[in-house]
Structure 1
């Protein structure tokens, strides 16, 4: 031997696909087409209680499409890796999916602080399309506007601007004159913390302090004490359950108000159980919402039938749509398409001028026929009629919710028109 060859999972997969094509041609194709498998990747936080249902919902979408015949005649295998809501772990997981599994599509991540390093250091350099269910930082928008996402980034969750505006609206509606802000010190937390402080100020509400919390600290007493100095009437929390539980316990023990406004990241049984419902009676939360549409109702019905409970956790409808839209784009791009080629087909499967299709196996089957004939389809999903702008962003209605003995209780639905009008007034 005069040299050696580098093993390439992508080349191997391509070679296998060519082999399948040859065998199918030789044997008539029917049996062989059923034996091929195409992998997609998912980096989601399965080690936390609220992350498991997000991953299960993505798999639910994959299962429905596989039952309908798969993508381009091949079954889809979703290779799932845990992010632990940790940027380093998430990047390592994404690299493994690209380098070892040869994926061209990645679902994930949850948390902008995890999605951002995956995007900049893994998916964009590797030409992999990334579709996130649950990353809201407006930093992604700026990155896309600068051309640095290369058209490979999409998300089915509205930007942090919606939750920040709704949080400020809540404070005004409750009559609070002063609010302190505690936020997670990552891409998402910095973004929403800055936005909500600006929106509160725009409504004439004093922001008595804006304090960042870092991961992994044994105590947040110093940060909570700093936030208490201004004696706020209420507190806004942009935290995940791990640091949220520790911070709220400190807050209450030091005499802080129970008037709390929380982002959807604390829409968690873990948070309630470890803080105590008795301390959360004045807590109101914000979230983006599915529109009051038939397609959203259909998702709730199918999810409830599958899992035995309604999809009340954060990001579930968004996770379903992320998986469905990504797989529709793979179908439109054709067998063996690259990540960039798949990303380029997103517009064809979310085209308002296209043939409407439902968010289920029957809808996917109908889409296959339309796409094969050269037409476009308009996906009617769990979050409504999904449309992405040039930056891969979507808009969404909002919901105000509370904790109760029954679980999460919806208090108010804010339509997309009302959300947009309120944000326009703020700006």
Structure 2
């Protein structure tokens, strides 16, 4: 297949390089260093590794097309192990090492502890996975160096709430962990319900690592819940599913994108069937761009299945958006403020995997994803597919920001 969209994604590299002239063969181009930070080992590595792989794939493609004005892009990779203190230390290292920008963070709590490092250093950060709403709200948008290409919970929660209410599931039990991610998600779901004049019939909080949530599930059942909205990023989602199954409580489980993770699908097995979640990308060959991405990823990493496709696709798109931004800098100024301004004013449309990005960021808006880009995913036969046939049809056309 002729990967026309990929050539479009790289054409600006050749155009700008021609404007600056070819480097002497005798020169050794100095790599352009970009930070990459995430949980590449430990409890969140199931989506940290796909994030890293998606970023590496994009870098390989960009370097094959000439890199940045003949300079290869080099990833400076740091493993935060999903630990906020480790993430803070490694973020400080990245800033000291002088990276042009950083792509990173899967865990909201880890990201939140490190945001000040990037903001104070005026070093741009693009978040491809973490979805906690406060991440891009901590600093005033015009001054913020924090960008994001994942769907924040403030749009995921209303999207899922709209869906379940349309199905008649209005007696909602919320089960959320006590992390920053769970706290923020619980608040977003509660706000989304309030917008429809609804309140949760039960709210249960729990620590990560818990193995038994029978007491919370029984309380939700006694409260008359007809749907369970879970907000946790780890295996606790599977604990909830298996707990419902053990109680023979046949109500649906819905949530944000972690319900598409192996921790849930593989951990809960048949108890995961029928679960619904918000998605920006479902790994089905619905158009040429996605076919090309899936084929390249599977070939590079020798796999037929991406553990968390959204993490890989969003990181891939993040690296390309950063490349598009810096390639628009004509005076060679790659300082933090210059890169920030470039990201806020990306001149070319990037035909990405998760979305068609036309002005994804601006001075007043650092979130690239809007609710029209979301679809409902459904666990069916152990894989994530489209919950609605019309979403599969709509997905043939990659959405643009609204």
Shorter-chain TM-score tier: 0.7 to 0.9
Alignment of 1:133-152 (within 5 A): 133-145=128-140, 150-152=143-145
Unaligned runs of 5+ in 2: 1-22
CA distance in 2, matches of 1:95, 1:125: 11
Q: Which residue of 2 aligns with 1:40?
A: 34
SS where residue 365 of structure 2 aligns?
A: coil
**Once the 2 structures are TM-superposed, how far is the Cα of residue 272 of structure 1 from its aligned partner?**
2.0
Question: Residues 221 and 96 from structure 1, CA distance in 2 versus in 1: closer, same or farther, beyond 3 angstroms?
Answer: farther
Provide the TM-score with structure 1 as the length reference. Answer: 0.74
Is 1:132 the counterpart of 2:127? The answer is yes
CA distance in 2, matches of 1:304, 1:197: 39
Task: Give a deviation string over 1:40-66, Cα, whole Å, max 9, x none.
Answer: 111112222232111100010111111
Match of 1:106 among 87, 102, 106: 102
Is 1:405 the counterpart of 2:381? The answer is yes
Q: Which residue of 1 aligns with 2:163?
A: 170
Is 1:388 the counterpart of 2:382? The answer is no
Is 1:303 the counterpart of 2:297? The answer is yes
Unaligned runs of 5+ in 1: 1-27, 352-376
CA distance in 2, matches of 1:95, 1:40: 14
CA distance in 1, matches of 2:345, 2:212: 50
Aligned length in residues:
359
Alignment of 1:367-386 (within 5 A): 377-386=348-357
Q: Which has the larger radius of gyration?
A: 1
Question: Residues 266 and 281 from structure 1, CA distance in 2 versus in 1: closer, same or farther, beyond 3 angstroms?
Answer: closer
CA distance in 2, matches of 1:125, 1:257: 50
**Once the 2 structures are TM-superposed, how far is the Cα of residue 126 of structure 1 from its aligned partner?**
1.8
CA distance in 2, matches of 1:282, 1:204: 27
Task: Give a deviation string over 1:336-385, Cα, whole Å, max 9, x none.
Answer: 62222111111343x3xxxxxxxxxxxxxxxxxxxxxxxxx222222232
**Considering only aligned residues, what root-mean-square deviation do their CA atoms show, in Å?**
3.0
Is 1:76 the counterpart of 2:73? The answer is yes
CA distance in 2, matches of 1:123, 1:294: 36
* Native 8 Å contact 2:136 2:146 kept in 1: no
The farther-off stretch of 331-340 and 385-394 is 331-340
* Native 8 Å contact 1:284 1:401 kept in 2: yes
The farther-off stretch of 391-400 and 297-306 is 297-306
Q: Which residue of 2 aligns with 1:214?
A: 207
* Native 8 Å contact 1:248 1:275 kept in 2: yes
* Native 8 Å contact 1:238 1:262 kept in 2: yes
Q: Which residue of 2 aligns with 1:182?
A: 175
CA distance in 2, matches of 1:409, 1:30: 50
**Once the 2 structures are TM-superposed, how far is the Cα of residue 222 of structure 1 from its aligned partner?**
5.1
* Native 8 Å contact 1:286 1:399 kept in 2: yes
Structure with the largest fraction of strand? 1
